[in-house]
Structure 1
Amino acid sequence: MSASPIGNGRINLEQQRKRARELLRRLKNGAEPAKLAFLHSLNASSSVKLSDAQWLIAKDLGFSSWPKLKAHIDAIDFIARNPRFAADDEVNTVHWRCGNDIEHSLRLAGFKGIFHTLTDPLCMGPVQGLAHATYRTQRIEFIRHAFGMDLGEVTRRFDQEYEHLAKVAELAHGVLWCEADAYDQLFLIRVLASLEHLPQKLELIEIGQIPGVARFIGIGQLSPDVLAWLWPQRRLIGREAHQLARQAWSAYCCGSPLQMAELAHQAHACLPFLAPALRRQLQELPHIKNGLSLTERLSLQYINEAGPVAFASVYAELMERREPLPYLGDIMFYAVIKPLIDADEPLVAESDPNIEWPRRLLTLTRLGLEVIQDRAYWPDYASQKKWIGGVCISPRQPHWAIGDDLHPVWRE
Structure 2
Amino acid sequence: MLHIHCGDSSAGTLRQSGMPGEVTVWCDPVVQGPTPAGLSGEAWHRLRAGYLAITAARLTAADVARRLQAEDDALARAPEHDEVVLWFDACLFDQSILICLLDRLSRLPLDKTRLSLICIGDFPGFARFRGLGELHPEQLASLFPTRQPVTPEQIALARRAWEAWTAPEPTALAALARAETAPLPYLGEALARRLEQFPSTTNGLDRLEQEALEAIAEGHDGPFSLFRAVDEREARPFIGDTMLWGLLEELASDETPLVTIDGPGPLPRFDDPPVSLEQWRFSLTPAGRAVLAGREDRIRLNGIDRWVGGVHLAGRGPIWR
TM-score under structure 1 length normalisation = 0.71
Structure 2 unpaired stretches of 5+: 269-276
Give the 5 Å matches for 1:78-93.
93=1
1:232 paired with 2:232, answer: no
1:124 aligned partner, one-letter code:
Q
Of 303, 308, 311 in structure 2, the residue corresponding to residue 388 of structure 1 is 308
Distance 1:118 1:149, change over 3 A: farther
1:142 paired with 2:27, answer: no
Distance 1:334 1:109, change over 3 A: same
Of 28, 33, 44 in structure 2, the residue corresponding to residue 120 of structure 1 is 28
Instruction: Check whether the contact 1:349–1:364 (CA below 8 A) recurs between aligned residues.
Output: yes
Instruction: Check whether the contact 1:289–1:377 (CA below 8 A) recurs between aligned residues.
Output: yes
Offset from partner CA, 1:8-52 (integer Å, 9 cap, x none) = xxxxxxxxxxxxxxxxxxxxxxxxxxxxxxxxxxxxxxxxxxxxx
RMSD: 1.7
Of 274, 277, 281 in structure 1, the residue corresponding to residue 190 of structure 2 is 277
* Partner Cα distance (1:140, 1:356) in 2: 21
Offset from partner CA, 1:308-344 (integer Å, 9 cap, x none) = x11232112222x211221111222222222111112
Bigger drift between 361-370 and 392-401 goes to 392-401
Which residue number in structure 2 is paired with residue 173 of structure 1? 83
Give the 5 Å matches for 1:13-412.
93-132=1-40, 133-151=42-60, 152-194=62-104, 195-197=106-108, 199=110, 200-307=113-220, 309-319=221-231, 321-354=232-265, 357=268, 358-359=277-278, 360-382=280-302, 384-401=304-321
Shift of 1:157: 0.8
Shift of 1:254: 0.5
Distance 1:134 1:399, change over 3 A: same
**Percent of aligned pairs sharing the same letter:** 32
**Largest Rg, 1 or 2:** 1
Instruction: Check whether the contact 1:251–1:260 (CA below 8 A) recurs between aligned residues.
Output: yes
Q: Which has the higher contact order (CA 8 A, sep 6+)?
A: 2
Structure 1 unpaired stretches of 5+: 1-92, 402-412
Instruction: Check whether the contact 1:298–1:323 (CA below 8 A) recurs between aligned residues.
Output: no
Distance 1:157 1:196, change over 3 A: same
Bigger drift between 123-132 and 149-158 goes to 149-158
Offset from partner CA, 1:275-300 (integer Å, 9 cap, x none) = 11011111100111011111111111
Offset from partner CA, 1:206-230 (integer Å, 9 cap, x none) = 0011122111111101122211221
1:140 aligned partner, one-letter code:
A
Instruction: Check whether the contact 1:379–1:394 (CA below 8 A) recurs between aligned residues.
Output: no
Offset from partner CA, 1:342-378 (integer Å, 9 cap, x none) = 1121111000243754331000011110111011111
Shift of 1:270: 1.4
SS in 2 for 1:115: strand
Instruction: Check whether the contact 1:198–1:242 (CA below 8 A) recurs between aligned residues.
Output: no
- How many residues in Structure 1 have an aligned counterpart in Structure 2? 307
